[in-house]
């Protein structure tokens, strides 16, 4: 019985620290102990599709867009069904621009959000989670990306 309790405690602690579930290893973006399991958008097609036409995004999940170089990347919410926080991150993994509670756009002429700083990555998470997890401009995020290596740049 004691062995079962120890295994249960280890399981719970592991689940809390991983934050992304135990069934498979996933890509993570973290600020201290607050992590998001992220799907990577690293090809032009994946970046264009983004989160369009999805019904929802789980609280601990997000999408990380990876660009071939730092530049100004505008984002819009065309065919996105739920509000998002959008976080622009430079190559040093520093948050350089943040737009909170970006609302979906259901017209053909959506207005893009254009940051005033260059970024290499853009993180999309559910609206309100940037504030809830303490993500602000100037913070350094930690990436654990198993599906991507910086030397394998994708154009």
> pLDDT of 9-28, one tens digit each?
333 333 334 456 544 558 99
Domains recognised in the chain with CATH numbers? 25-144 (2.60.120.1140)
Paired tokens of 136: 């602000």
Split at pLDDT 50, 70, 90, the class of 109 is: confident
Let me know: does 93 contact 70? Beta carbons within 8 Å. no
**Which candidate, 15, 67, 22, places its Cα nearest to that of 41?**
67
- Average pLDDT for the chain: 83
For the entire predicted model, the pTM comes to 0.81
Over the stretch 73-88, which tens digit does the pLDDT of each residue have? 999 888 888 999 999 9
Helices and strands, number each (H, E), in the chain: 3, 7
Query: Two tokens at 130?
Result: 């940037």
Distance of CA 134 to the CA centre of its chain: 14
Sign of CA dihedral 114, 119, 124, 128: negative
The Cα-based distances of 48 to 26, 40, 52, 79, 134 in angstroms read 22, 12, 9, 12, 28
């Amino acid at each position: 019985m004691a062995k079962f309790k120890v295994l249960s405690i280890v399981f719970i602690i592991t689940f809390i620290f991983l934050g992304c579930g135990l069934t498979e290893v996933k890509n993570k973006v973290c600020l201290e102990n607050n992590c998001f399991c992220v799907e990577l958008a690293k090809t032009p097609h994946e970046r264009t599709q983004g989160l369009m036409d999805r019904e929802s995004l789980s609280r601990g999940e997000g999408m990380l867009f990876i660009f071939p170089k730092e530049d100004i990347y505008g984002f819009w919410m065309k065919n996105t069904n739920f509000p998002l926080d959008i976080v622009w991150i430079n190559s040093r993994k520093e948050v350089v621009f943040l737009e909170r509670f970006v609302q979906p756009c259901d017209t053909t002429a959506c207005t893009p959000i254009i940051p005033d700083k260059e970024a290499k990555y853009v993180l999309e998470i559910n609206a309100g989670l940037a504030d809830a997890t303490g993500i602000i401009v100037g913070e350094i995020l930690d990436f654990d990306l198993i599906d991507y290596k910086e030397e394998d740049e994708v154009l």
